[in-house]
Structure 1
Amino acid sequence: MAKANINKLAMSLYMVVIVSFLLTSTIAESRSTPSIGFAVAKAAPSCDTVFGVRSGDTCFGIVQTFKLTTEFFDSINPNLNCTALFSGQWVCVDGTAN
């Protein structure tokens, strides 16, 4: 009878080790980076005026046309890919960069 209890204990310990390994590897695979302190989320930019891109337009040309700085234009269009502009795409040309 004692041998059966030892086997049950060993099986229980193996299960704990396996579950611990799976939990640890799952956490490690999430690749989250711990941060120190509190992170303050930036507010999304606010757009007041948009411009419809036409054939041949470039970000640089739009910046010059609307007398903007490149930094401001980029800040109000944070997800804009200037190398892939297409006709009919809307870009922000006036607003608030937060």
Structure 2
Amino acid sequence: MSDVAADLHVSEGTAGTMITAPGINSAISALALLQRINRRAALLGLSLTFVVAVLAGLAQNNPAMLGARALLGIGIGGTAPAGSPVSGRVRRR
């Protein structure tokens, strides 16, 4: 964490929020996606949020890193409630 903090020119505690942000957004998005939704469309949208992981790696400052990590948390939290029912329909032929 100290290397990341040094690269982003912030304290280690502030850099630690990049661990917390996806966790909080993951929990919130998981609860929000338990509603009745089109699960296939949700999975497509959520899979696009994983592209944000690349943006997090390219972030030059702390706000950009936190934003990218927060969006990644939405993808992580939404994939389980949206993907579990759909994966049950996939069959091996």
Q: Could you say which TM-score interval applies, normalised by the shorter chain?
A: under 0.3
Q: TM-score, normalised by structure 2?
A: 0.26
The structure richer in strand per residue is: 1
Larger radius of gyration: 1
